[in-house]
């Protein structure tokens, strides 16, 4: 697991990873089964996945994880973790869930959740045989003083690695959402025709900035209006991951309702660990539909986290969409077509 993939992971979730890894590692390859909604097949793309290696994890966290793996995996956890986050490990998770493709995120947040470079993501995408796509990123801290260099690097990465979007996580990168130095990122995204995914809402990650200026999507209003050609995906719809509350959901929905270039994503917040009864997830999905924004919602899980998570999150989501009374066409949009409208999935 990368530091990035631990972003939203609680201690409990890590213990669950440890407990489930041994069992899951003994399972064979599963044949893909297309998911269904009200009896009809639905194509799914998971637009929010992480990759990495054991070596990406700082030593204190390696020790923390190793203690929690069951015997005998605790003696050599490196191999198991590397398997889960490898290209094949992620594809096995997609197959298990019946998911067509997954998007891997680059992450530049060395102070908090770590580093998954554009180059690393590109290598995993290459290994994925068409099943994996990538979103690039760049370091935000100190951007004002090295803007041209970093933007040029990101541009080169998007072009040479055929990246399909840009991922930013301001709280983890210890940056504010409204720093003018970041305008060049949004201009680049508009020019290249790729969406920008932004973590919105807070995070329990140690060292992350939880001030409103880093978490509340209202601080994106200026750039959303200044860059109408750029698509903004408000990740986690402003969720409060510390108090497990809908947080700034209304702000995210207001922005989407008033700006055609705003999309919504609701990964991680509806997991069994975060929202056991699905109450918050159901409320959020209902609110999106009631506001007439089902066509702006794109599906992501924030996996793989642990073996089985990718499938579990999809099944929980399909059940929650059903409970919120989404129609089949709306679900097909959420699961793939809405995303296909804002970036190439080929």
For residue 196, give both structure tokens: 């920008």
| CA end-to-end span of the chain | 27
* Beta partners for residue 167, in sequence order: 197
Rank residues 37 and 235 by Cβ distance to Zn ion and give the closer one.
235
Candidates 68-76, 160-168, 236-244, 300-308; binding stretch for Zn ion (CB under 5 A): 300-308
HSE, CB side, 13 Å, CA atoms: give it for residue 223: 26
Of 125-133, 222-230, 301-309, 325-333: span binding Zn ion (CB under 5 A) = 301-309
CB 253 within 8 A of CB 283: no
Taking the complex as a whole, the smallest distance from the CB of residue 7 to Zn ion amounts, in Å, to 5
How many residues touch Zn ion under the rule CB under 5 A: the total is: 1
Which of 248, 302 has the CB closer to Zn ion?
302
Q: Does residue 265 interact with Zn ion by CB under 5 A?
A: no
Report the residue number, 46 or 302, with the smaller CB distance to Zn ion: 302
Q: Are 189 and 206 in contact (CB under 8 A)?
A: no
Q: Where are the beta strands (DSSP E) in the chain?
A: 36-37, 40-41, 45-49, 101-105, 107-109, 114-116, 132-135, 166-168, 196-199, 232-235, 262-265, 297-298
Contacting range for Zn ion; rule: CB under 5 A; set: 11-19, 87-95, 240-248, 294-302: 294-302
**Could you tell me the smallest distance in angstroms from the CB atom of residue 50 to Zn ion?**
6
For residue 303, the minimal CB distance to Zn ion (Å) is 9
Tokens of 280: 């918050």
Distance between CA atoms of residues 85 and 346, nearest Å: 23
Min. distance of Cβ 249 from Zn ion in angstroms?
A: 18
Q: Per rule CB under 5 A, is residue 302 in the interface with Zn ion?
A: yes
- Interface pattern 3-42 for Zn ion (x via CB under 5 A): ----------------------------------------
Q: For the packed helices 183-192 and 147-161, what is the interaxial angle rounded to 10 degrees?
A: 20
Closest to Zn ion by CB, 137 vs 261, is 137
Please report how close the Cβ of residue 46 comes to Zn ion at its closest, in angstroms: 11
Q: In the structure, how many helices (H) and strands (E) does the chain have? A: 14, 12
Note whether 240 binds Zn ion by CB under 5 A: no
| Binding positions for Zn ion, rule: CB under 5 A | 302
């Amino acid at each position: 697991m990368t530091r990035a993939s631990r972003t939203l992971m609680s201690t409990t979730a890590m213990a669950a990873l440890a407990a489930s890894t041994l069992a899951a590692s003994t399972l064979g390859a599963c044949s893909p089964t297309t998911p269904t909604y009200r009896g009809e097949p639905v194509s799914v793309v998971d637009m929010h996945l992480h990759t990495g290696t054991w070596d990406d994890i700082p030593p204190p966290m390696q020790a923390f994880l190793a203690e929690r793996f069951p015997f005998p995996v605790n003696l050599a956890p490196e191999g198991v973790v590397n398997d889960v986050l490898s290209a094949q490990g992620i594809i096995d998770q997609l197959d298990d869930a019946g998911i067509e493709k997954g998007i891997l995120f680059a992450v530049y947040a060395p102070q908090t959740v770590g580093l998954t470079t554009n180059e690393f993501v590109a290598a995993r995408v290459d290994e994925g045989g068409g099943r994996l796509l990538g979103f690039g990123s760049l370091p935000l801290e100190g951007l004002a003083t090295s803007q041209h260099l970093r933007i040029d690097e990101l541009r080169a990465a998007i072009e040479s690695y055929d990246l399909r979007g840009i991922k930013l996580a301001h709280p983890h990168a210890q940056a504010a959402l409204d720093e003018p130095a970041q305008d060049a990122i949004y201009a680049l995204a508009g020019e290249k025709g790729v969406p920008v995914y932004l973590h919105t809402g807070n995070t329990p990650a140690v060292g992350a900035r939880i001030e409103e200026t880093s978490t509340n999507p209202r601080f994106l209003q200026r750039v959303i209006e200044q860059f109408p050609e750029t698509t903004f995906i408000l990740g986690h719809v402003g969720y409060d991951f510390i108090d497990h509350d809908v947080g700034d959901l209304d702000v995210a929905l207001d922005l989407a309702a008033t700006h055609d270039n705003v999309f919504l994503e609701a990964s991680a917040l509806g997991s069994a660990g975060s929202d056991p009864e699905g109450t918050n997830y159901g409320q959020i999905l209902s609110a999106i539909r009631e506001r007439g924004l089902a066509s702006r919602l794109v599906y992501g899980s924030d996996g793989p986290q642990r073996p089985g998570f990718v499938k579990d999150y999809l099944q929980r989501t399909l059940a929650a969409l059903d409970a919120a009374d989404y129609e089949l066409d709306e679900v097909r949009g959420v699961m793939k077509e809405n995303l296909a409208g804002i970036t190439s999935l080929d």
